[in-house]
């Protein structure tokens, strides 16, 4: 019976059905099913499938966004129950992410943050138009393993370079991996500014984060 429920959870994410994902999460709690098991065997299976299909060109950005939102809705219901039971999902690492100063583009960065969280990372999303000082302060507060810097404009992506330099000056660069991304950002730019990695899309960012922390 649980297996059928897990398959329904997976399908709710694949179909980007927020209401169904929420309903199934509530059903998990009502039936006393392990919320951790529901996340790992149900909803994560769905988001993994979407990632594979997206990578193969069989699913596209709007479907990816809806799948991530369904996953987010499910986690929002189940996490309080996890906390109530005194159980936690195993954290893969702490990530601070934000869109750099002067840039108010938020959708792509938010999608990356959602998928990182769904994959098991503890994520602090700072939003957009984030200053150097805020990035550094939050990384210190959270003992971050990775910081993700998003920039969607050629005029703001240069700020990624300034942030990396500031992390060096603050004595944090050797302790934190830095990922960069955004529409104008390329692998060559990432190498030029001394970032640890670059990804073209949200699922690639998850794989990159795992790789940087030697989890894959």
Q: What residue ranges define each of the domains in the chain, with the CATH number in brackets?
A: 2-85 (1.10.1240.10), 94-212 (3.40.50.280)
N residues, the chain? 216
Residue 150's DSSP bridge partners are 99, 181
Confidence (pLDDT) at 1: 61
By percentage, how much of the chain surpasses pLDDT 90?
A: 72
Query: 45: which residues sit within 8 A by CB, 6+ positions away?
Result: 6, 9, 10
Of residues 93, 82, 8, the one with CA closest to residue 43: 8
What whole-number distance in Å separates Cα of residue 146 and Cα of residue 12?
30
What whole-number distance in Å separates Cα of residue 68 and Cα of residue 65?
5
User: What per-residue string of b and e applies to 160-199 under the rule 16 or more CB within 10 Å gives b?
Assistant: bbebbebbeebebbeebbbbbbbeebeeebbeebebbbbb
CA 35 to chain centre: 20
Query: pLDDT of 82-98, one tens digit each?
Result: 888 877 677 899 999 99
Give the residue ranges of the chain where pLDDT is below 70: 1, 88, 216
Number of CB atoms found within 10 A of residue 80's CB:
11
Query: pLDDT of 38-51, one tens digit each?
Result: 988 999 899 989 98
Confidence (pLDDT) at 82: 83
Confidence (pLDDT) at 216: 55
């Amino acid at each position: 019976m649980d297996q059928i429920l897990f398959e329904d959870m997976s399908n709710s994410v694949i179909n980007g059905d927020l209401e169904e994902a929420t309903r199934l999460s509530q059903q998990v709690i009502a039936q006393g099913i392990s919320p951790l098991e529901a996340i790992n065997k149900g909803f994560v299976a769905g988001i993994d499938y979407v990632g594979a299909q997206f990578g193969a060109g069989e699913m596209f950005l709007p479907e990816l966004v809806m799948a991530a939102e369904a996953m987010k809705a499910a986690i929002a219901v189940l996490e309080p129950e996890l906390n109530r039971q005194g159980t936690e999902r195993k954290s893969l690492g702490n990530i601070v992410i934000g869109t750099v100063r002067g840039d108010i583009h938020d959708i792509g960065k938010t999608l990356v943050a959602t998928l990182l969280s769904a994959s098991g990372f503890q994520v602090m999303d700072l939003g957009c138009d984030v200053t150097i000082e805020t990035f550094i302060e939050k990384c210190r507060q959270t003992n971050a393993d990775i910081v993700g810097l998003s920039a969607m404009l050629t005029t703001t992506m240069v700020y990624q370079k300034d942030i990396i330099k500031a992390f060096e000056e603050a004595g944090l660069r050797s302790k934190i991996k830095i990922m960069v991304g955004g529409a104008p950002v390329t692998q060559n730019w990432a190498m030029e500014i001394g970032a640890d990695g670059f990804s073209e899309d949200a699922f690639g960012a998850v794989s990159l984060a795992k790789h940087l922390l030697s989890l894959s």
